[in-house]
Amino acid sequence: MENDCLFCKIANGQMDTRFLFENENLVVFRDINPHAPVHLLIVPKRHIRSVNDLTEVDSAIVAEMIMTAKQMAKAEMVDQSGYKLLFNVEKGGGQVIFHLHLHLIGGWKK
């Protein structure tokens, strides 16, 4: 855990955040500044700074993040209507919190 990392604090239960899903590797919670009716964050508990910091060892956690996003899309009832999965990478790519996370965004009306 990084001492000053917001997502490390959230994932370790140090913040008052309601998890929609949690297992030994990941937490899922709603974005506090949603860009769509459904905007979830899938966050690994282990601190990984960015996509640029991933190694071969991290392949399993990335796959788990994507599969969890698929399950959460179904739970949020956007799996059939459609949704986006998004990794922001580095400041120029829109990354604001430097802890790997996957956005699940959807729920727009047709």
Task: Please give the positions annotated as active site.
Answer: 101
Question: What contacts 40, CB < 8 A, 6 or more positions away?
Answer: 20, 28, 29, 30, 31, 69, 72, 76, 103, 104
CA–CA gap between residue 94 and residue 17 (Å, rounded): 23
